[in-house]
Structure 1
Amino acid sequence: MDRYGLICRNIMEKPDITQRELAKALNVSLGTVNHLMKECISNGLLAPDQQNSGCHVLMPAGEEYMKPYKVDGAIILAAGFGSRFVPLTFEMPKGLLEVFGERMIERQIKQLHEAGVYDITIVVGYLKEKFEYLIDKYQVKLLYNPEYSSKNTLTTVYRARHLLKGRNMYLLSSDNWLRENMFHAYECSAWYALSHTDGETSEWCVGFNKKGKITNVHVGGCDTWFMYGPVFFSADFSDHYIPVLEAYYETPGTEQFYWEHVYMDIVNGTVKKTLNRYNKHFKDLSSKALEITDDLLNRAVMYANCQPDNQIYEFENLEELRLFDPRYQTHSDNKALELVAEVFHVEESAIKNICCLKSGMTNKSFLFNINNEKYICRIPGPGTELLINRRQEANVYKAAEALGITEQIIYFNGENGYKIAKYYEGSRTANSNSWEDMKSCMELLKSFHEAGLQTEHSFDIWERIHFYETLCKSRGSILFEDYKDVYNHMQEMMDWLNSLNRPKILSHIDSNADNFLILPDGQIRLIDWEYAGMCDPLIDISMCAIYSYYNTEQLEKLMQLYFKREPSLEERLVIYSYMALGGFLWSLWAVYKSTLGEEFGEYTLIMYRYAKDYYGKFHADLSKL
């Protein structure tokens, strides 16, 4: 790290700074500071201030010397979900949570402004719209990372790499809280902020030499310094780091890497070893990887920026935030926590051990503990108020209550769909690849159907198809190229089903393996009844099959487990029809959900393929009837 530059920077910020204060700031001896000051003066960088005794001023040569160290801007990483902070992050990105009445990201932006750093880009992903107001309030820029939901920070930094090239830039996390402003208008070398721990830690620990140059990074350590908080990328560091970052990005298997994984391998000398491990042979490496030279790696240098205790905070979960900001013990401004506190007649501080249980295709759920008992709170996903009638769902639970096959409901709101249920310790969801599990699930499903429960509402799959189609078109969604042809095939099957006039009873509709809960004693609960209604019960076999991505052979096995015999030709054709119609329905559902910002990868294509493939099977076998 350039000590002349650090001397000049401190003089610029505080002309009357004492040598003792400089020694503390540079973490060197008083004698070393005295020597450095004399050299700066003799080199024409500094001069005593003739008008103010004890002060120094930067000379023109010093101003020229400092130009390469001018900070150009900052990148703030804010794309992630923050799963350890649910349910708060179901409603708000972690960086926008308040600490002592001030949002964490805003505190950092204001600290940057105080240091004269105004060119700020926030890399967003999850709930990106929540950050938009910052453009007007602080004149920041937003950069969207489309891979935020499936990849880690290596990808986020990769998406922002053009902002780093040839520039001196802070790299910050939106969810850091800094007690004192540690930003400057000038930075003299690349650095990573470090905090010290007494005792064991699982953090990324750092070794550095007497000059502060980081020499090794390893996960876990004892009584050591570890990476924690802001980072500064000098233009020179970025020039040598970014080519390695690009090589890692292009290497399969690194999708869940942090950007620090790349730096750790650079420092530890294991870049080529890692790239080899994730490729079959060295010759198969990407062109970017082959361009990496030892000289490039040796020049990607970063220094330790050791910070005092209680300076940098990165809250791991709500429990830590409650200890720091007492307001969160009783008032989190979160609907779900307020509801739980009201239902159980406790303060929010009594809700403990909160963790994300599911951020699923329709709902979000979290697990929590009150008085050593565990419960699950379900929060309806965005747009579900258009898709699901929660009063009908409440009626379904009442109808099925006598059978004792549903989860134990503690609270259910038929207006907004919030649900609190008992958590079954040691339970697991059924494994669709285990025929032993599926045999038990089909036996439960068959006994449920044989009970012949009735409700006032129906599940009309053709009405739902039209409904989702209308929603998709209203939002300008582009449907499939052969949509009209496939639609006509679906109508053909629907007309045939209607001609059968089959009996209807209460059916689950969402009978996928994840909704069969197997308890430690072997009992099974069928959960999540939000789509349930009066329908041909064979639809449940079809839905189970397509949700499990079953092929024809697996479907045959599933039908035999349910019927305990060979299905009749009519039963087989009914199941084929509902598989096709179900695939068509859920592909439209997924297209609509994508317009709300929720993507489900290949699910859309798989469901649409079921519509086409099982229409083919239906059409081929219909003549045999």
Structure 2
Amino acid sequence: MKKKNMNRDKYKILKVLITEDVIDQRKISQLTKFSLGKVNNLLKELNKEKYISSNYALTSSGKEYVKSHHPQQATILAAGYGLRMVPINTEEPKGLLEVHGEPLIERIIKQLHEVGITDIKIVVGFMKEHYEYLINEYDVDLIVNSYYSTRGNVYSLYLAKDRLANGYIIPCDIWFKDNPFSTLEDPSWYLFSDKMTSHSHWQVSKSAKIKYTKNPGNRMIGIAYLNEYDARKLNDRLGKMIDAKMYDSFWEDALTCKKQFLINGRIIPNSEHAEINSYEELMELDSHSDHLKTEAIEIIEDTLNIDKTKIHNIHTLKKGMTNRSFSFECNNKRYIMRIPGQGTDKLIDRKEEYDVYQQIKDEPYTENILYLNPVNGYKLSEFLENTRNSDANDWNDVTKCMKLLRRFHHENYQVNHKFDIWKQINFYESLRDAPSAYKDFMITKENVVKLKSFIQDNIKQWSLCHIDANADNFLIDKKGKIYLIDWEYAGMQDPDLDIAMYAIYAGYNREQFDRLIDIYYQNDCDEVTRYKIYAYAAVGGLLWSNWCEYKQSLGLDFGAYSIAQYRYAKKYSKLVLNYLEKKNA
């Protein structure tokens, strides 16, 4: 049977009547902020419509209305990384962060139970196993978003699209002082706070209508209630967004259309809730939370000899291909903390990285390392102020990079380990535990392997090489000083490999590649060396292509970069083989 929806003002009166034990018109006026005259008229209408009796008690019709408008279910979104939560999110997903000894998601579940909602599903992804205990503890169900690393919460909600009607949508990283849920809901609503922020352009009017504004709007909290009608509209919008592959969108984008918000707004005081999106927000809400005691924070405290309360302005840096890093300030100085990423322990020997930094630690062109753990790879370094990444398309920058690279190679550092690129190709291939997605992979690999003897016969120098000498790892400050950072892959190798690595990461074509070689060799590169560098482009392309396929098996996708690397393996292996065939004819 279709539900009968009630006038919003009468609904507010009815909600007060079922939630307050002792009631009179004056108290109703205080709670609803309606005038006494308006309260009196609304009560008369509710009585006339047979929802309440003359003493404000619910009639049978009123009880039926309340029963039919009781929320039925809730969906909690808990799949994302919570990138802004570094360094906490390296050990626990954000929904399980504890505030005053209670995990955020458990508090939400308990508050739902208080209003009789037990049909609860949680969309999980990152560290999904950590949420498994909730199944037995609270009789909830889990929905797994297997694409959590590449598809945002709009996809998470899409996975739960069939259960949104008469239910709540709730983010997992929110804390409420008082229970925000109710035994009675009628109009759909989205929750805002009374705090105005430039991050929102939606303003809630006194009539609960949500209007677009170019000025700061009400802070969006992330909770919504949807009735059947609005759930159908939202489902339709979600489906269109997924068909259009709008995976980077927030689910709230499905509530908006041409600067119109599809449902009404509800406002609560900003002091009544806390959205915990960062380490500092958790610190502010509960400075004694056990989750503030992460390994990364303890390293910072011990190394800098400070208390965690001195750590400020934590910012997640651009998520790297291998690591998760964050910058922070302490005593008016900035630092960077590196936390090794997923699967890194299989890819990098941290003891070898430690040995490399011990060799180059006094060089003025690398970062100042304050702490480096040779076992797990945690690294603390001073932030290089007023620097930028070099630009592989700016040939002035490229010239500076090659000059520094040549200087480093000429210093001829020696360590006790080598970067065996052939071994690494096979190693990365074995890690993915499945055939390559490229149909002609075995042909390409065979062509690349044919280059091995040509390369080995023409190595002129064997010294410490960076291996990952791409443009992003060269930093240039405002005075033009240049640095080379992130020596994770460094080992003994042919310096010409570093030149090729720079080229293939930059996506250079043949003409650009030749220009790079000429800059490094100062226009004095012989033909055989040039083709050996081409050969390294093929070998490096296959290496990083295998690396990308392994990372993709972990749910990490590097898009066009992975295809570009495979193309280098195909194109340049054929180029060098043709050259050798003509030369040996």
TM over 0.5: yes
1:233 counterpart residue number: 226
* Equivalent residue runs for 1:191-202 within 5 Å: 191-197=189-195, 202=199
SS state at 1:46 partner? coil
Q: Which residue of 1 aligns with 2:51?
A: 45
1:34 CA displacement: 3.5
Report 1:576-587 matches (<5 A): 576-587=534-545
Of 90-99 and 110-119, deviating more is: 90-99
Q: Separation in 2 of the partners of 1:134 and 1:558?
A: 56
Instruction: State how far apart, in whole Å, the 2-side matches of 1:132 and 1:551 are.
Output: 49
Between the aligned partners of 1:45 and 1:128, the Cα distance in structure 2 is 46
Q: 1:312 aligns with which of 234, 253, 273?
A: 273
The answer to whether 1:263 aligns with 2:255 is yes
Residue 471 to residue 154, structure 1, CA distance change in 2 (3 Å): closer
Asked whether 1:72 is paired with 2:32, we answer no
Partner residue of 1:525 out of 483, 487, 490: 483
Distance 2:375 2:219 in 1: 48
Measure, in 1, the Cα distance between the counterparts of 2:354 and 2:218: 54
Aligned partner of 1:177 among 168, 175, 178: 175
Asked if 2 retains the 8 angstrom alpha-carbon contact of 1:538 and 1:575, the reply is: yes
Aligned: 1:208 with 2:219: no
- Contact in 2 for aligned 1:122/1:140 (Cα 8 Å): yes
How far apart are residue 8 of structure 1 and its match? 4.2
Amino acid at match of 2:138: Y
SS state at 1:379 partner: strand
When residues 381 and 257 of structure 1 are mapped into structure 2, their CA distance, relative to the original with a 3 A threshold, is closer
Residues 467-478 of structure 1: pairs in structure 2 closer than 5 A: 467-473=427-433, 476=434, 478=436
- Aligned-pair distance for 1:171? 1.6
Cα separation, 1, equivalents of 2:368 and 2:21: 69
CA distance in 1, matches of 2:456, 2:219: 67
Q: CA deviation at 1:311?
A: 1.2
Alignment of 1:288-299 (within 5 A): none
Instruction: Write the letter of the residue equivalent to 1:414.
Output: P
- Deviation at residue 319 of structure 1 after TM alignment: 2.5
The reply on whether 1:449 has 2:441 as its aligned counterpart is no
Amino acid at match of 2:355: N
Equivalent position of 2:507 in the other structure: 549
> How many Å separate the matches in 2 of 1:332 and 1:432?
40
SS at match of 1:531: coil
Distance 1:561 1:162 in 2: 60
1:490 counterpart = 2:485? no
C-alpha distance 242-528 of structure 1, shift in aligned 2 (>3 A): same
Deviation at 1:337, TM superposition (A): 0.8
Equivalent positions of 1:533-572 (< 5 A) are 533-572=491-530
> Amino acid of the residue matched to residue 141 of structure 2?
K
Q: CA deviation at 1:336?
A: 0.6
Equivalent position amino acid for 1:213 in 2: A
The within-5 A match list for 1:367-516 is 367-473=327-433, 476=434, 478-500=436-458, 502-516=460-474
Relative to structure 2, which stretch is displaced further, 228-237 or 385-394? 228-237
Tell me which moved more, 4-13 or 183-192: 4-13
Instruction: Report which stretch shifted further, 487-496 or 477-486.
Output: 477-486
Using the alignment, how far apart are the partners of 1:215 and 1:468 within structure 2? Answer: 52
Partner of 1:105: 105
Counterparts of 1:162 and 1:560, CA distance in 2: 61
Q: After the TM superposition, which residues 265-304 of structure 1 pair with which residues of structure 2 at under 5 Å, given as runs?
A: 265=257, 268-269=259-260, 300=262, 302-304=263-265
On the 8 A contact 2:85/2:278 being kept in 1, the answer is yes
**C-alpha displacement of 1:506:** 0.9
Gaps of 5+ in 2: 1-6
For the residues of structure 2 that align with 1:403 and 1:207, how far apart are their CA atoms?
A: 57
Q: How many residues align?
A: 577
CA displacement at 1:119 relative to structure 2? 1.9
Cα gap change, 1:233 to 1:115, in 2 (>3 Å):
same
The answer to whether the Cα contact below 8 Å between 1:116 and 1:185 also exists between their aligned partners in 2 is: yes
Counterpart Cα distance in 2 of 1:24 and 1:264: 33
Alignment of 1:130-141 (within 5 A): 130-141=130-141
Q: Deviations over 1:24-70 (max 9, x none)?
A: 4433233433433343334333347xxxxx772x3332233345423
Instruction: Tell me if structure 2 keeps the 8 A contact 1:351–1:369.
Output: yes
Instruction: Specify which of 35, 48, 71 is matched with residue 41 of structure 2.
Output: 35
TM-score of the superposed pair, with normalisation by structure 1:
0.85
Deviation of the 1:477 alpha carbon: 5.8
Correspondence 1:352 to 2:347: no
Distance 1:96 1:217, change over 3 A: farther
Q: CA deviation at 1:350?
A: 0.9
Q: Distance in 2 between matches of 1:215 and 1:369?
A: 38
Give, in whole Å, the separation in 1 of the partners of 2:48 and 2:447.
88
Counterpart in the other structure of 2:3: none
Q: State the one-letter code of the partner of 1:495.
A: S
Compared CA separation, residues 225 and 359, structure 1 to 2 (3 A): closer
Q: Does 1:83 align with 2:83?
A: yes
* Code of the aligned partner of 2:278: N
| Cα distance in 1, alignment partners of residues 125 and 508 from structure 2 | 33
Provide the secondary structure at the position in 1 that maps to 2:451.
Answer: helix
Distance change (3 Å), C-alpha of 1:439 and 1:201: closer
The offset of 1:591, in angstroms, is 1.8
Instruction: Give me the whole-angstrom Cα distance separating, in 2, the residues matched to 1:614 and 1:217.
Output: 54
Cα distance in 2 between the residues matched to 1:468 and 1:226: 46
One-letter amino acid of the counterpart of residue 170, structure 1:
Y
In 1, Cα distance between equivalents of 2:346 and 2:291: 30
- Number of the residue aligned with 1:589: 547
Which residue does 2:580 correspond to in 1? Answer: 622
Q: In angstroms, what is the RMSD of aligned CA positions?
A: 2.7
Counterpart of 1:243? 236
Structure 2 CA distance for aligned equivalents of residues 170 and 481 of structure 1: 46
1:229, 1:312 within 8 Å by CA — same for their partners in 2?
A: no
Cα offset for 1:439?
0.7
- Per-residue CA deviation, residues 386-416 of structure 1 (Å, 9 max, x unaligned), is 2211111111112223443221111111121
1:321 equivalent to 2:282? Answer yes
CA displacement 1:192-220 (0-9 Å, x = unmatched): 223223x77554442424xx231413354
Q: Distance in 1 between matches of 2:549 and 2:25?
A: 66
The answer for the alignment partner of 1:605 in structure 2 is 563
SS at match of 1:359: coil
Q: Deviations over 1:402-460 (max 9, x none)?
A: 44322111111112111111111110111111111011100111111111111111111
In structure 2, how many angstroms separate the alpha carbons of the residues matched to 1:146 and 1:200? 33
In 2, are the aligned partners of 1:78 and 1:123 still within 8 Å (CA)? yes
SS across alignment from 1:327: coil
> In structure 1, the residue corresponding to 2:366 is in which secondary structure?
coil
Once the two structures are TM-superposed, the CA of residue 316 in structure 1 deviates from its matched residue by: 4.6
* 1:14-29 correspondence to structure 2 within 5 Å: 14=20, 16-29=22-35
